[in-house]
A and B are shown apart, each in its own frame.
Chain A
């Protein structure tokens, strides 16, 4: 089932940037921290889980047409990344659990 980014906020994901993109639809989940790999392999409309917090994640999300970025384990987002995500409307959500736990939550929501 497709869900919208905004629905994640009710499930313990905290929106930290890109508010104006929260109506984007999510069709799948992708997990990887090597951005060169993500650029080559991520599918459009994915929720992408990564521990990287550099501004380049926003550029990669735009390029791969990612619906939102999820930063697990409360890792702190770089200021520049927040600015760019707000500018481009790429929602970034912070999550207290691990990547695995985030993926399970998404799986349950999309079942």
Chain B
């Protein structure tokens, strides 16, 4: 049994606290007794490597991830088998973003950090924006590289259900995410047609205190590949 929180933002996401540093996240996840976390900043993987490397040192599995905002304004969590693949995808998203200056006094800072929590770069264009990639393009891209999970499908904004009315037939969609505050059974009672998917519940933490407790678990082996395989439905 692996206790997880697969939706955590770092200080790179403008909306997340500047305290969401690589060390703080890894330490907090360890204190909470989690076995596996995922780093999922908006439209970028620039802090994934630092957190991943710290995880290796501390025995915490860190799934390389990105929360992409699609052309349909839907949030999709992309989880990868390797940091390299994740970074490669981050560069593709970057090419598909309109560059609008980040108004940091309104939206917040976008810090890239190293393993010692030093700020090594500040992203000056906004990451809180839709990419030009469609949902279908993202699911196609992810095949073999990892898995795509539709984020917080219960929410009235930025979710596939709110924006597209319902979950369309998507090849390779096996797992959907619901928000931490939602009871899985209640959700499935309202949407019985989504029983066919695996359901994960993560925190979408923007502050350290939001990171999940030891409550939700995956039944797979304690290694990155098994976690991503499990999400793929293997």
Chain A residues, CB < 8 A from B168? 54-56, 59
A36 touches B162 (CB 8 A): yes
Asked if B136 and A56 sit within 8 Å, CB to CB, the answer is no
Residues of A within 8 A of B163 (CB): 33-36, 52
CB distance from A48 to the nearest CB of B (A): 12
B136 lies within 8 A of A36 (CB): no
Cα–Cα, bound, A78→B134 (Å):
9
| B161 at the A interface (CB under 8 A) | yes
Residue of A nearest to B169 (CB): A55
Q: How many residues on the A side are at the interface (Cβ–Cβ under 8 A)?
A: 15
Residue of A nearest to B73 (CB): A33
CB of A80 closer than 8 Å to a CB of B: yes
Contact A52 B136 (CB under 8 A): no
**A2-39 with Cβ < 8 A to chain B:** 33-36, 38-39
The answer, yes or no, to whether B181 is at the interface (CB within 8 Å) is no
> Which residues of chain A from 39 to 98 have a CB within 8 Å of any chain B CB?
39, 52-56, 59-60, 78, 80
Asked whether B134 lies within 8 Å of A60 as measured between CB atoms, the reply is no
Tell whether, in the assembled complex, residue A78 and residue B162 are in contact, meaning their CB atoms are under 8 Å apart: no
B134/A54 in contact, CB under 8 A? yes
A53 to B136, CA, bound (A): 12
Least CB distance from B128 to A in Å reads: 18
Whether B165 is near chain A, meaning CB under 8 Å from some CB there, is yes
Known: A52-B72, A54-B72. A35 touches B134 (CB 8 A): no
Contact call A56/B134, Cβ cutoff below 8 A: no
A59 touches B165 (CB 8 A): yes
B136, A35: Cβ atoms closer than 8 Å: no
The docked-state distance in angstroms from the alpha carbon of A34 to that of B135 is 15
Q: Are B165 and A36 in contact (CB under 8 A)?
A: yes
For chain B residues 138-172, which have a beta carbon within 8 Å of chain A? 156, 161-166, 168
Q: Roughly how many angstroms separate A59 CA and B168 CA in the complex, as a whole number?
A: 10
Contacts of A53 in B (CB 8 A): 71
A101 to chain B, nearest CB (A): 22
**Is there an interface contact between A38 and B165, defined as CB atoms closer than 8 Å?**
yes
Chain B positions within 8 Å of A60 at CB level: 165
A–B Cβ pairs within 8 angstroms, 9 of them: A33-B73, A34-B163, A36-B162, A39-B165, A54-B135, A54-B168, A56-B165, A59-B166, A78-B134
- Apart from the given pairs A35-B163, A36-B162, A60-B165, 15 other A-B contacts in the complex at a CB distance below 8 Å: A33-B73, A33-B163, A35-B164, A36-B156, A36-B163, A36-B164, A36-B166, A39-B165, A54-B72, A54-B164, A56-B165, A56-B168, A59-B165, A78-B136, A80-B136
What 9 A-B pairs come out closest when comparing CB atoms? A35-B165, A56-B164, A36-B162, A39-B165, A36-B165, A35-B164, A60-B165, A56-B168, A54-B72
